[in-house]
Structure 1
Amino acid sequence: MKLKNILFWKLGVLVGSLLLFSSCDDYLDEQPSKGSGIPISTYEQLSGILSHYSSFNSETNMELILAGDSYEVSTELYQANPGQFKDDVLSQSLWEVENLYNSYSNQALWEGEFGTVYKANLVLTNVGNVSGTTDQKEEMKAEAHLMRAYSYFSLANTYCLPYNDKNKNEMGLPIKKSTSYEEDLSRVSLETTYQFIEEDIQEALKLKMSATAKRNWRGNVAAANGLAARFYLLKGDYTKAMTHANTALADYSELVDYNTDMSFESYEVIINSSSDNYEYISIDYPYTWDINTGADALLVANYKGNYYDRGVYNGGGDGWFIPSAKLLALYDQTYDLRYKYHIVEDFSYEYGMDDPSYSYPGYVQWSYKISSSPCSAEMLLIKAECLARLGNFTEAMNVVNQLRVTRYSTETPANVLNLTAASKQEAVKLILDERQREMPFTQRWFDIRRCNSNSDSFDNIVLEKRFYPVNKLGPLTNDPIKTYRLEPGSRRYAVPIPSDDIAAGRGVIKQNTY
């Protein structure tokens, strides 16, 4: 059955009003689209679509931020300012999927990523009919496939169950290969969805531009191989994952050195202002905190080590990446400079907890965003994990330590800085901990999903949080504290598809079952 795709119809109208880059660097006065009436006839017009990174570089994927064990709202923190915590944020962090069918952040991710798919399809549909050289068109096609694969990877790991042999025949996603409003919206199997993503990745691997060109709002060799490494790591194909991680690193391997590349910006706030005990507190932020818009956007796009301009945007949580007690305990607070620069003490004062004062830290990078693109640090960690799982755990630790030397103070004792392992299992555990320290709100949720779905049992991660009972109206603060658990194999690993899209599909798009 075919049905008009309401979302894609809206995108076809709206995309014509966006201001886009032309070629690789300049703004385009008129942006073409299927619904704008502007004819698509030149390479520069399609290049403008791919260059308008601000229309698709923010991922409103609250599941990555909230659902893992890096994020936690304690009852004490909640009581310090209950109005700060939205009901759908709490429900998502506690895996209460029955409260998420109409979640705003859930809707934003679905529409945002399918919006990017639409743009990629607009390029792929028209690239054969525009001016430009063969090489230009082939590079553009590869880049559009990268965009589409990236979005589908995010969607599949949010709205579908984790990929493994048991779940292959579970529901995947609607597959959109064109800009047609009449394209079938039925959800194909999870296996077919992953085959589609893999086919796009293979096309993206034809990219020739290097990440060293420092135009990371555009597709490049390292970005394509970085996504491939993520994809095959998730599927448990460690040989392929390591091959693509190595290829990405061969293209671009630069790392941020926290000893020389990081610095603070300090701001003063007043706490307990209504009492005689008021005082001024200085809060230290990483210098990246205020860099996110205008001319500084290029600095974010080309941040050292990143391959592709993508960032997880915490709109639903009002910008507060709340570190759990587990995450805080993972850091060596004396020597690990990631703790020094990313864990901002007293961050709660920025969120209405200043009078009376209640101090709790926040995890900070780019204001409301954290870089989520494939990057050189992630590739080292993928390479290390693949080595460990394939049995070479000694070399795996050597690779991890290449990263740690750029993250720890130069005063760190060697026995603290350098990790060692006596077995494959110990090495994998150490690497997973390092991945959580490095990417706590971007890759940790993917790690939990894949570790709880692979053929190994030693790396299973049972999630547990304690909070009030929560319903659609919010926390029931007069009820006893409840222990929430998410076990391996739970169907709650898949977020409900937004109700509006289910309704618009009139039965074609099937909802997840729990």
Structure 2
Amino acid sequence: MKRKLIYLYIAMAGMFLHSCDKYLDIQPVGTVVPSTESDFRAMLTSGYSVFPTHKSLLSLRTDELLLDEYSTDMAYLKDIYIWNDQSPDPTTLSYPWGTFYKSIFYANLLLTEIDDKLGDNEVTKQLKAEAYLLRAYSHFELLNCYAPVYSETNRQHKGIPIAQTIDLEQKFPVRTMEDVYAFIMNDIQHAEDLMQVVDQPSEHRYRFSKRALHAFRARLHLYRSEWAEALSEAEKALAIENGLVNLNGDEVLLPNDFESVESIQALDNPATAQVHSSTYVANNVIALYDQVNDKRFARYFEKSGGDYKSRKGGNSRLKVSFRNGELYLILAEAALHIDRKEVALEALQTLAKHRLTETAVTEQAANLKMLSVPELLSFVQLERTRELALEGLRWYDLKRWDRPEIQHVFLGETYTLNEDDPRYTIRYPREAVENNPELL
């Protein structure tokens, strides 16, 4: 097939928009053809900047939040909150689809053009590594939203379209989950071969790095129940930087603050101002904390009338994609599945020392040693809920564990997401199906 390259910054972008809208609704803009390092860095920054805030909407589907019935934004959020995916109000915010592919478009264009313009050097290698990871991470998030949990028995289940090239003649059929994961892992390997930056400074924390690559791989293997690989990748990330925010000290930063010692990458915004201002923390989440000995409680939440609000979102400082707190919990969960209980206990103890009072740390360590592996796995699930509350991972955890029943009460009526409900897999957006008949 003849390859038709379309520059991101050319005056003919309108023609490309019209042609490509049929499938992915890409909307490139601009008038300058990229030719310098700064041009390509700006291109990739655009790919980062349009990355969607989908995790904020996913949190509304979980058991973490209560929707404020008097919120001015209630109309935009209520159908998400009550899992009305079949016939939502036209004003309901849409789950992202095209915006993921916009990020992918920027990554694809850089990967297509940069070698011809700049050749092979450390700068281009780093830019290409980040582009591969941005493309991989976008496909990974799409897959986790719009496909069921991966397993050996359903790996041939339909997933999402793969967007790998810039070609107006390309079709975008839905690929199997196994195909998409193979593509993602191949991109991560390409990135690892090229990566130059071990850890991004805080001012560039939205960018991918070697540390973020290992954290990404650790989560990917965790979601695929590949326990040894998840453990190994978490250990590699922590070997670069293993610090945790000490909530027993005078530390003013939250663990999910992009400048905290444990922040690895801060690309995702899991609690937009709109969702943050329209919700309270669910009572079942509040009940999980020892409000005296667990220092996370006072740092994560604040009283608001008779309810609690989250302190962990609502502003750009609190973006988080990967951080060390999650990695210690990946260590614990993965280790328990491969008969390495002592590794799990050590990881939980390290986290506890930075989150609980000294007395509580000692008591927890003694209690955990007495638990069986299944009991410890249950504890890790609770600890993930406490540690990672309102950071956009709860929906994925619910999906991969047991897809429990959830009830939301709204305007006096009870709505139920049943156990193992098909709505744990989000429907392809209507406009995406209309634009791309290959999705059917």
Which range, TM-score by smaller chain? Answer: 0.7 to 0.9
- Tell me which residue corresponds to 1:360: 307
Q: For the residues of structure 2 that align with 1:341 and 1:99, how far apart are their CA atoms? A: 39
2:378 corresponds to which of 405, 429, 433: 429
Match of 2:353 among 390, 401, 405: 405
2:94 to 82, 86, 106: 106
8 Å Cα contact 2:133-2:208 kept in structure 1: yes
Question: Match of 2:35, as an amino acid?
Answer: S
Does 1:93 pair with 2:40? no
Structure 1 residue aligned with 2:60? 66
Q: 1:496 — aligned with what? A: 427
How far, CA to CA, are the matches of 1:141 and 1:54 in structure 2? 14
Moved more, 370-379 or 423-432: 370-379
- Structure 1 residues 404 and 84: CA distance shift in structure 2, 3 A: farther
Give the match for residue 142 of structure 2.
155
Q: 1:210 aligns to what?
A: 198
Tell me if the contact between 1:46 and 1:123 (Cα under 8 Å) persists in the aligned partners.
yes
Query: Per the alignment, do residues 426 and 411 of structure 1 end up closer, same or farther by CA in structure 2, a change over 3 Å counting?
Result: closer
Over residues 206-232 of structure 1, what are the superposed CA-to-partner deviations in whole Å (9 max), with x where a residue is unaligned? 323111644323221110111100000
| Alignment map for 1:46-85 (pairs within 5 Å) | 46-51=40-45, 55-56=49-50, 59-73=53-67, 78=69, 81=70, 83-84=71-72
1:484 aligns with 2:402: no
Q: Does 1:508 align with 2:438?
A: yes
Native 8 Å contact 2:257 2:263 kept in 1: no
Q: Which residue does 1:182 correspond to in 2?
A: 169
Q: Secondary structure at the match of 1:391?
A: coil
Q: Secondary structure at the match of 1:312?
A: coil
- 1:116 match: 103
Question: How many residues of Structure 1 are paired with residues of Structure 2 in the alignment?
Answer: 416
Deviation at 1:332, TM superposition (A): 1.0
Point out where structure 2 has 5 or more consecutive residues left out of the alignment: 1-17
The TM-score, its normalising length taken from structure 1, stands at 0.74
Provide the rounded CA distance (Å) in 1 between the counterparts of 2:303 and 2:112. Answer: 50
The 3-state SS of whatever aligns with 2:281 is: coil
C-alpha contact (below 8 Å) 1:61/1:106 kept by paired residues: no
| Structure 1 position 102, deviation (Å) | 5.3
Matched, 1:463 2:405: yes
2:288 to 324, 330, 336: 330
How far the C-alpha of 1:112 sits from its partner, in A, is 2.5
Larger Rg: 1
d(CA) in 1 for partners of 2:40, 2:105: 13
Residues 406 and 101 (structure 1), Cα distance of their counterparts in 2 relative to 1, 3 Å cut? same
Q: Does 1:256 align with 2:237?
A: no
Say if 1:60 and 1:112, in contact at 8 Å, map to a contact too: no
C-alpha distance in 2 between matches for 1:425 and 1:362: 33
Contact 1:217 1:308 in 2 (8 A): yes
The aligned runs of 1:8-19 (5 Å cut-off) are 10-13=26-29, 16=30
Structure 1 residues 485 and 41, CA gap change in structure 2 (3 angstroms): closer
AA aligned to 1:360 is: D
Single out whichever of 413-422 and 374-383 deviates more from structure 2. 413-422
Q: The residue matched to 1:482 in structure 2 has which SS?
A: strand
Indicate yes or no: 2:125 matched with 1:195: no
Q: Is the 8 A contact 1:88 1:99 kept in 2?
A: no
1:364 aligned partner, one-letter code: R
- Work out whether 1:443 is the aligned partner of 2:418: no
Instruction: Give 4+ residue runs of structure 1 displaced > 6 Å after superposition.
Output: none
Q: What secondary structure, in the 3-state scheme, does the structure 2 residue paired with 1:335 have?
A: coil
Cα deviations by residue, 1:196-251 (Å, 9 ceiling, x for unpaired) = 22222222223231116443232211101111000000001000111110111111
Q: 317-326 vs 393-402, which deviates more?
A: 317-326
Q: Secondary structure at the match of 1:153?
A: helix
Work out whether residues 332 and 347 of structure 2, in 8 Å CA contact, stay in contact via their aligned partners in 1. yes
Distance in 2 between residues matched to 1:247 and 1:87, nearest whole Å: 45
Q: Aligned AA for 2:416?
A: Y
**Residues 16-60 of structure 1 deviation map (CA, whole Å, 9 limit, x = unaligned):** 3xxxxxxxxxxxxxxxxxxx3x22222331122234586146623
Question: Contact between 1:86 and 1:316, CA under 8 Å: does it hold in 2?
Answer: no
What amino acid maps onto 1:119 in structure 2?
Y
Structure 2 match to 1:240: 229
Give the alignment's Cα RMSD to 1 decimal: 2.8
| 2:310 aligned partner, one-letter code | Y
Asked whether the equivalents of residues 259 and 409 of structure 1 are also in contact (C-alpha less than 8 Å), the reply is yes
Does structure 1 retain, via aligned residues, the 8 Å contact 2:26–2:101?
no
Tell me by how many angstroms 1:368 deviates. 4.5
1:371 equivalent in structure 2: 319
Correspondent of 2:215 among 215, 226, 236 = 226
The residue number in structure 2 matching 1:41 is 35
Distance 1:104 1:467 in 2: 18
User: Equivalents in 1 of 2:416, 2:274: separation in Å?
Assistant: 21
Does the C-alpha gap of structure 1 residues 9 and 132 become closer, same or farther in structure 2, counting only changes over 3 Å?
Answer: same
- Could you give the per-residue CA deviations for residues 168-206 of structure 1, whole angstroms, max 9, x where no partner exists? 233211111123343212211222122222222222223
User: Counterparts of 1:368 and 1:60 in 2: how far apart (Å)?
Assistant: 15
Q: 1:487 to 1:368 in 2, by over 3 A?
A: farther
Alpha-carbon separation, structure 1, partners of 2:274 and 2:156: 32
C-alpha displacement of 1:395 = 2.9
C-alpha distance in structure 2 between counterparts of 1:150 and 1:419, whole Å: 38
Question: Which structure 1 segments of 5+ residues have no match?
Answer: 17-35, 264-286, 289-298, 347-357, 452-459, 469-474
TM-score (norm 2): 0.85
